[in-house]
Structures are given as C-alpha cells and as structure tokens.
Amino acid sequence: MSSTMQSQFFELADALTRECAGGEALLCSLSAERSDFVRFNKALVRQAGTVEQRYLTLRLIARGRQASATIALAGSADDLELARSTLGRVRAMLAHLPEDPWLLIAETPTSTTTERRGRFPPAEEIVQHVVRDAKGLDFAGFYAAGTIYRGFANSFGQRNWHEVDTFNFDWSLHLRADKAVKEGYAGFDWDPAVFRAKMERATQQLELLERPPVTLEPGEYRAYLTPSALEEITGLLSWGAFSARSRATRQSALLRMEHGERLSPKVTLTENTEGGIAPLFQHDGFVRPPRATLIDRGTLAESLVSPRSAKEYGLPANGAGSAESPESLDLAAGDLDAADALEALDSGLYIGNLWYLNYSDRPAGRITGMTRFATFRVAGGRIEAPVNPLRFDDTIYRMLGENLIDFTREREMLLSTSTYDERSTSSSHLPGALLQSLRFTL
C-alpha cells in the first residue's frame, strides 16, 4: 500500500507540474494515514473502527503571490481531474491577492525518503490484552495505531516521502469523583510485558488512592515529576520559547537566557527529528537537520526558524514549521535510576500528572498549573497518602535550574494524543525529574 500511495502521489505531482505556466511554482503536500481506533469504557470496547484518509494541498506561487487549496483524495483515477480543476481555481485566486513580503520557499531540490516500520499486533489482539488485564477495573482509554504518511513534491523536482508505523494508548483507571490514575503507552514496537507492567503500576496507585487524602498548605515542597508531568512543562515551553520569531519580538519565555540566565547544566534539549516520528521536511520544501540543539547544558542555543522568519529577520531557515514549535523534543537523561526515585525523593511530593498550565509571567519564565490524578505525599521514601489538588507557580529557572537535582536515566517516548483532523506526528522523549523545591501557592 505504501509504495502505491507514494507512486500515486508523485505521479499526480508530475502531472500537475506539467500544467504550470511560465513563472509559476507549484508545491504539493500529502497528509495521509491508515489507523485503527478503539475507545474503551468500563474495560469494554465502546467504539472501534478504521480510518483511511488522504489529503492533498496544492500551493501555487507566482509574482510574489501565493494561494492554496486542500482536497480529499480517493486513490483513484478521478483524483487527477479533481486536482487539475482545483489548480485552476487556485490560479484564478492569485490575481486577486497582494504580494507576500515574507514568502520564502526552497528552490534547490533536496529529496529524501524515510520509512520506519513498527511491530504491533492487530487491534483485536490489543482488545484482548486490555479486557484481560483491566477486568474488574473502571478502565477508560483510547487506542490509535497504524501508518502515517507525509509527502512533498514541487515543480523544481524535489520529492520527499515519510512513512512511519506507531501506536498510542492513553488510558485512566478511575476510583471515584476526581480520584483516578492516568497512564499511557506509545511507541513503535508493542510489548505485552510493558503494557502489563504499566497496568500493574496504575492498579497499585489506584489502591493507594483509597487512603484518606491530605490537604497541604501552600509552600515549597521537594518533588518528583514523572515524564508525563514534565511533558506538560516542556509542552508549554514549546509555545514560542524556542521560536526565532518570539526571540526577535522579545516574547520568548526564555528571554532572560538571552541575557545570561542559565538553567542547570544537566539540561540539554534538542529537536531530535531523526529520533521522532515527524517528517524530515516541511510544507515549504525545506529539509530539517537530523538534530538541532535548543538548550546546550543549560545555555540557550539554536532557535527554530521558519522560512517566513528567515525572510523577515535575515536568518537561515532550519526547516521549522510555521508555528516554530518542537515536533520531536528530546531531553537528555540524567543519572538517577527511576526505580530509586521515591528513595531519592525521601520526603515530598510524587507528581504523576499536571494540567491547566499557563504562563503567569511569560518574560520571567514563570509557569502556573495544577496537580492532577495521582499525586502523593511521600515520607521516608514511601508513599503515605494521596494529595488533594494543588496549584504551583514557579519559574523555569528554579524548576530546571537551581532546584533541579537530577533526571532519571530511563526516558519515556511520549507521542501526542491529538487526533483532530488526523493523528499528530509530534513526540517527546523525556526522563523523570527530581526537584529540590517546587513552589505551591494554593
């Protein structure tokens, strides 16, 4: 199927390129998938199905103007006629549009092909695992798996193809009201033993939630953040903190790092495209480097530069998308064994999840948010009791700077659970984090 989809897309792009008039540039982008979806409730299947979809975006450029349109493809001979008529409509639009001063596309062809095969059982077998391991539990979850396809072709002769097999399982075990444990398992190769271990850990935490919860006073507490909790923090930073545009307009949450402020030398963040699931190319035709270092041992390094920012601010483009946000964020591991996290925490808070994060002071890098689901008070390296929700408010310079003790050696591959319109290709590869102090305000 993949070779058929790839050849059909490139043949379609070739045919449309022959339709171009002098002075026109055509860019074609394909976004497609074949995915199985299963929704669980009460440890039973409530909804299941398969989605196969292909969308083609045509972008025509002439005389400094651009127009685009997106159509759904059927994978049949009718696609060419639909694409031709769409191209005609896009061409007609160009005469009515102003010139785009920040328009920049790749005109030197750089073609690539990447395929990454995954190994996971059919959805029916996943269902059997879940029904067996979650029997008797109030289990709710959403499973998505299959192949994601991305393609690019332009009238300069560039051809890019990306194909990756992944699965993503996001679930919760509910006790009552707001008392629940959230877990997830994502990656390329499904291992029943890993899933079973995650289920056992979640079940153990669910039993701990049976204990009477405690309400803590505002203040500073030693804390351990799981990779899932840390993902919420790095995810918020991805809203502009690494953007060339945000840095140029002084809106970056890491603004102080441009004036000498540093994080802990244990912090090295990269946009690791070769290790993620996002394609090596973007819709303007620029190819991303395999890795781009965003923070190097606590010091601000590269920014993510989209073609528009490159044109506006006179910077070299490095393949970033228009949002200039990381799509394959990678945080270097530390020296703490995850199995020793509670012992290393000693007394403080074990934080399984965070939510409702936002900036309370963006220029200062100050973040606020709430604890969620399984957060526990720990004493003497042992979990004592669940903790009622708390609001934290602290700066990134304290959390990942002066108060960072260590990261875990083990890291978790976390894939975006977004399925709006299509399955996302964003991912994070993160460790857990042990903090000397985290400030809570209520």
pLDDT digit string (tens) for 414-430? 999 999 899 999 999 99
Strand pairing of 24-41 and 391-395? unpaired
Separation of alpha carbons 158 and 389, rounded Å:
52
Three-state SS string over 135-158 comes to: CCCCEEEEEEEEEEEEEEEECCCC
| Predicted local confidence at residue 35, as pLDDT | 97
Paired residues of 389 in beta bridges:
none
- At residue 138, does pLDDT exceed 90? yes
Name every residue whose Cβ is closer than 8 Å to that of residue 141 and which is 6 or more positions away in sequence.
Answer: 39, 40, 130, 169, 170, 171, 172
Global pTM reads 0.93
- Structural domains for the chain: 2-208 (3.30.2290.10), 219-440 (no CATH)
Separation of alpha carbons 366 and 358, rounded Å:
9
Instruction: Kindly indicate the confidence band of residue 2, based on its pLDDT and cuts at 50, 70 and 90.
Output: low
Tokens linked to 130: 């879940």
Separation of alpha carbons 322 and 345, rounded Å:
40
Average pLDDT over the chain, rounded to whole?
95
Q: Is 32 helix (H, G, I), strand (E, B) or coil?
A: strand
| Predicted local confidence at residue 372, as pLDDT | 85
Q: What is the pLDDT of residues 56-97, one digit of tens each?
A: 999 999 999 999 999 999 999 899 999 999 999 999 999 899
Segment 313-337 mean pLDDT: 96
Separation of alpha carbons 137 and 22, rounded Å:
65
Separation of alpha carbons 153 and 379, rounded Å:
58
- At residue 1, does pLDDT exceed 80? no
- Is residue 373 within 8 A of residue 422, CB to CB? The reply is no
Tokens linked to 372: 């969620």
Q: What is the DSSP letter of 274?
A: G
